[in-house]
Structure 1
């Protein structure tokens, strides 16, 4: 169930690429915690950590976009907000339903597709902008 970082997801901005790779690692740690021993507490700690890391990454990415006057900043920021809202909904389900294979599968499908789609389109636009304006920024 792990998701593998692929070089084609690199957007060409080193600090963001490093953070994206770490997001993949943190997500895989969450999956490993769930699959290894079924330790609910450890799995939940990894989920909260993943959530906190995503929020921290979003703040760093948004700070960079603001510094560069990235034209699609507000739309991009809204997508980050939608991700956080979806994660909050998953957290509520987790509190009500408890940790189950069905919920982990839902989380995995959502986070995997979001990460790959968001990085390959939205974040790639940041990389394109940065590299196109490298001499002027």
Structure 2
């Protein structure tokens, strides 16, 4: 099941929305690879992307939150830090065990599910706060 960037996922911030689209594209690339039996081969690309993405994207979001004095910044940053640990764990498993089908499943469920829910719940609050302050 591919993910679609819908209105529901838009924050209204061009940079953040652009980065969220990149994330959904990366997850969809992995899902497409899985549907053709190439998921394990694509897993290393996805893991590398996620490491780079979380560092860059979360940093961009956190700068905006500080700039606009987002009141729940501390908790939002904590969510980001916890998620970075999940990504690091997946990368560690990939290094130790190689690209397993179980790990592909973990990326599909843990990563995609967490991020979509995070965008809908937490990032939407940040976007509403920024809109209110602008």
Q: Normalising by structure 1, what TM-score? A: 0.85
Q: Are the counterparts in 1 of residues 62 and 73 from structure 2 also a CA contact under 8 Å?
A: yes
Report the counterpart of residue 47 of structure 1 in structure 2: 47
Q: 1:1-137 alignment to 2 at 5 Å?
A: 1-33=1-33, 35-36=35-36, 38=38, 43-134=43-134
Alpha-carbon distance between aligned partners in 2 of 1:7 and 1:90, rounded to the nearest angstrom: 30
Structure 1 segments of 4+ aligned residues over 4 angstroms from their partners: 33-37, 39-42
In the alignment, structure 2 segments of 5+ residues that lack a partner are none
In the alignment, structure 1 segments of 5+ residues that lack a partner are none
Structure 1 39/110 Cα, relative in aligned 2: closer, same or farther at 3 Å? Answer: closer
Deviates more, 1:4-13 or 1:75-84: 4-13
1:69 aligns to what SS in structure 2? Answer: coil
Number of residue-to-residue matches in the alignment? 134
Structure 1 107/46 Cα, relative in aligned 2: closer, same or farther at 3 Å? Answer: closer
Q: Are the counterparts in 2 of residues 3 and 24 from structure 1 also a CA contact under 8 Å?
A: yes
Offset of residue 41 of structure 1: 5.8
Q: Normalising by structure 2, what TM-score? A: 0.87
Taking only aligned residues, the RMSD between alpha carbons, in angstroms, comes to 1.9
